[in-house]
Chain A
Amino acid sequence: MLARVADNLFWMGRYIERAEHTARYLNVNYFSSLDAPNTTSQSRDFVLRSMLFLVGEPAEKSEKLDEDKVLYRIGMDRGFSPSIINSISYARENALSARDLISTELYESINKFYHFADSYPTKKFVKTGLYEFTSQVTEMTAVLRGKIRGTLLHDSIYAIIMMGVNLERALQITRIINAKYNDAKKSPGSYGDRFRNSFEWTTLLKCAESYDMMRRHYKKTPNSLCTLEFLILNPRCPRSVMNSLNQVYRHVRTLDPLKIHDKDSTAFKVGKVRAEYQFKRIEDIEGDVQAFIEHILNELSEIGIQMEKEFFHY
């Protein structure tokens, strides 16, 4: 496979995943705030700030936020690189230049996805369409994942896409944890350890589509400890950082199984990070969530750079 095309496929995977998480974050936060149990969590300003924080553009404390503008910026603004429309558009551009390698079905779905987003009326989006648009985006990304799994040969092309998807997933989940951790500090719960019992942990789980399964697993109301454990360390939770790392590791090894012995390889690096989290306890993390977040973001970024050097640089 051409190095440039591998790069395109990798980023196609990443942008599809990024679009999904951004869209769901908007959806979940906006709509769970409507009937949140306390006034902070209900406040529109609080929600908009959280959204801006996620996309890496936190608002100044003094700044007065305009709902339409914030929604437009994160959803539809072509001039704002992390916007949903841009993620979809970049995903399609990357797919287009690798179009001869992916299935017609996958390309057609991405193309339809793009045309849906591209023709969605901006006004409708900020006024009444937020739910419809973001739900549609998360649905369509699920379809795309299905097409990736179901219509591509499970060879190096598939491995590269899945590495992009999973690396981005680990990254986005970490960023979402970061944003919601931040929110939980601002909007504590009403009983016991108020930080641990914040309503925001529930929202966090919903942002990761993991609420129901977490309830099934722990059989109790989410608190900080079990939420973080589930989303970071549980290898059976499909959205967890641990699972994402396991997936990246699995796919990087299919590219070249022998590379794992090479200390400078991506495979070695991923294996090392993965091993570290495999034997971590949530108590080690909960003490200093901030440090964990910085650490894992760093590691993920290094994996990305390593991949770039090993596979895409020519």
Chain B
Amino acid sequence: MSGDNTTIFTSYDRNPKLYDELYDPDGKVTKVYKKLFKLYGKHSIADYYELNNKAKASFFNQGITFRVYSEEKTNEKIFPFDLFPRIIGAAEWEHIESGVKQRCLALNKFLWDLYHDREILRDGVVPLELVTTSENYLDQMIGVDPPGGIYTHISGTDIIRHNDGKFYVLEDNIRCPSGVSYVLSNRTALKRALFGVFNHYNAHTVTNYAENLLELLETVKPAGVDIPTTVVLTPGMYNSAFYEHSYLAKTMGVELVEGRDLFVENDFVYMKTIAGPEKVDIIYRRIDDAFLDPLEFRKDSSLGVPGLFAAYKKGNVTIANAPGTGVADDKAVYTYMPDIIRYYLDEEPILNNVKTYHCSRKDELEYVLEHIRELVVKPVDEAGGYGISIGNTLTDEQVEQVRKDLRASPRKYVAQPILSLSVHPTYIEESQSFEQRHIDLRTFTVMGPEKSFVLKGGLTRVALRKGNLIVNSSQGGGSKDTWVLKK
């Protein structure tokens, strides 16, 4: 290989205060990583430099890019990919998978209850106000039975490991979670660059996501439909996740449609094809509730389909995820998840929840105002890592600003202790070396009435800036291929 003989870990700076996925508490490389550590150790930094560039060019040429919106202009960027994979052992994964399934099941039951009998509110387990003041609670969905009783067909659960070594759920994304296409392209990229390492590990495949998704979507087809026609509804090619939308349509072998490709007649949905109208039965939508139907929700929406909601209410089309699921991935609802799980499943939560302070409660608001420096303050209903303030990184003025915002609209915020996300060796371009960076894990679950499926892998997102805790791609995060080992 290359003439430069510096092996890649000679300068690795391990901070013992952080939980490093590669090392056990005694500073020894853990069992699952041992082989990989050895294999990668044979490469020099110069090899890495070259491989990294090749991988980048491959993503760029394939157009696996997203667009970042800022005030000046829109940039096309690749989602930085790290060549050092994250490995999750079989036992650990089993724990994660069962925990994620448990949460998804509970959330679905919770949603059914919220739009039907509302027992959980009646019993005072979750406060009424939390639901009735949520902008994502759709009154139009009250009493509507989604096909198969499923609201959250697709969930993306964000999990981190704290420095106590335990897994915590950070967010349950049940609106339009994205990222699954990167799981697959990361795997492909790593296989291309370093196929040899796969010979030494027995990792689960991740290519079976699309088939499972389609299979489960078809189990919730509208009544009376024999062979359903499924489509993926995208806001269009300028959306930051368009690559993923087209990827999913392509791998499921279904049409990728925009709102303007669909219309409603006699409360049935049709798409406009070159051979005339064709009925659509299942819509995997990647647009938010508010934009679904300009006649029912936001009237200025050009992304949706006039009359779609009427067709849905009549049971003539399945929409996944169901309209109105957003009420349950509100960060304020998150804090009640342990109670929600106990209430509906009569089980103890398998995965931990992070202690959360509700700024809508007076005493907790007071606590938050006094301890801003030790807390992460998050807006309740923003996605993508926007609007998050991490206490120990704020200037005095910023602290004052956060206090002001909190006092002005306490319902809008929750706060959590600053967690120490675990770290993982990551190739850093600027220094051309491996350094510790914080990571999380997004898992992907699809759920039908009979069974659910958790993709054995997931997206390990990594915060590329040193010390940064926000891993979202819109905030300069990268990702790693994630191996779940077979037993």
Contacts and interface: CB of A to CB of B under 8 A. Distances in A.
B63 interface: yes
Interface SS of chain A: helix, strand, loop or mixed? helix
Interface string A1-29: 11111100000000000000000000000
Interface string A94-116: 00110111001001100110010
A107 B247 CA distance: 12
A4 B272 contact: yes
Contacts of B245: 100
Interface in B232-280: 232, 236-237, 242, 245-247, 249-250, 255-258, 260-261, 271-275
Contact of A107 (B62, B232, B271): B62
A311 B61 contact: no
Contact of A4 (B61, B232, B258): B258
A279 interface: no
A3 B250 contact: no
A96 B237 contact: yes
B246 A99 contact: yes
B261 A111 contact: no
Given A100-B249, A107-B63, A2 B273 contact: yes
Given A93-B237, A97-B237, A115 B61 contact: yes
Interface in A160-186: 160
A140 to B, nearest CB: 13
A112 B62 CA distance: 8
A97 B63 contact: no
A93 B237 CA distance: 8
Interface string B31-52: 0000000000000000000000
Nearest to B278: A2
A101 B260 CA distance: 18
A156 interface: yes
Contacts of A97: 236-237
A256 interface: yes
A99 B257 contact: no
Contact of A3 (B242, B256, B274): B274
B60 interface: yes
A287 B453 CA distance: 73
A108 B61 contact: yes
Interface in A110-130: 111-112, 115
Contacts of A4: 258, 260-261, 272
A4 B256 CA distance: 11
A255 interface: yes
Contacts of A191: none
Contact of B257 (A2, A108, A256): A2
Contacts of B60: 115
Contact of B62 (A93, A111, A160, A312): A111
- B interface secondary structure, majority: mixed
A99 B232 CA distance: 13
Interface string A291-314: 000000000000000000001101
A159 to B, nearest CB: 10
B236 to A, nearest CB: 7
Interface residues of A, number: 25
A214 B250 CA distance: 44
A3 B63 CA distance: 24
A191 B406 CA distance: 91
A212 to B, nearest CB: 33
Contacts of B232: 100
B237 A3 contact: no
B434 to A, nearest CB: 30
Interface string B370-386: 00000000000000000
Nearest to B62: A108
A100 B286 CA distance: 15
For A3, A112, A256, A311, the residue with the greatest tally of chain B CB atoms inside 10 Å of its CB is A3
A152 to B, nearest CB: 13
A3 B273 contact: yes
Given A2-B255, A4-B261, A97-B237, A111 B61 contact: yes
Contacts of B255: 1-2, 5, 100
Interface in A63-109: 93, 96-97, 99-101, 104, 107-108
Interface string B53-81: 00000001111000000000000000000
Interface string B1-18: 000000000000000000
Task: Find the residue from A1, A96, A100, A108 having the highest chain B CB count within 10 A.
Answer: A100
A2 B278 CA distance: 9
Contacts of A104: 62
A108 B256 contact: no
The 8 closest A-B pairs by CB, nearest first: A314-B272, A100-B249, A100-B250, A100-B246, A100-B256, A111-B63, A311-B274, A99-B246
5 contacts: A1-B274, A4-B261, A100-B247, A101-B256, A314-B272
